Amino acid sequence: MTPGSLVLLHAPNATSASWGDLPEMLRSYGLDVIAPDVPDGTGARYVAHVSLIISATDPVVPLVLIAHGAAGPLLPAIALAQRAAHRPVGGYVFLDADLPRPLRAHDHDHDAPRDEGRVPIPPDWPEAPCGYLRTHADRIGASEGASRHGQMVREARLRGWPVIEHEPPAAVAQALGELVATL
């Protein structure tokens, strides 16, 4: 697919600086890139702040929403907000990200603040193609992270999504561009 704007969504409780030079590298490929900075907020608060920032940038559609880490489960809610604002989403990329999981009747956490809960998944999600990019950054860390990301890759494949496992020294921007092109 040919994206309008790539929206890079950092994990909640992080900042857009966590993307490093990826936004500039993607821009050097001629892509329109938006990297909202929401340093404080999780759950619905994160979704609301991101949606306001996207709106303020007047993005080119269709959007490709790219999530890292814990931003992955928030993609359906962010997409719903974009569709409500008449900004179509053309694709989703999970970059070393957790995948959305439907809420079940017994899923709740009485000890967590209201805003930190998971957000519901719209019944028609995903309405656009999805892909998974694993960068193997977890090899540096604990084996628990590696096995979690491996599980996400397996689950993405079971869902029929294209998966790219990035191997250095190729640039993450290059692997991301290849994955977006397959959506």
Which residue bears the tokens 């940038």? Answer: 57
Give dist(CA 176, CA 99) in Å, integer. Answer: 17
Q: Who's near 101: CB < 8 A, 6+ residues apart?
A: 73, 118, 121
pLDDT digits (tens, 9 = 90+) for 48-100: 999 999 999 999 999 999 999 999 999 999 999 999 999 999 999 999 999 99
pTM of the shown model: 0.85
Which domains are present in the chain?
A: 5-104+115-182 (3.40.50.1820)
pLDDT tens by residue, 130-167: 999 998 765 544 455 567 778 999 999 999 999 998 87
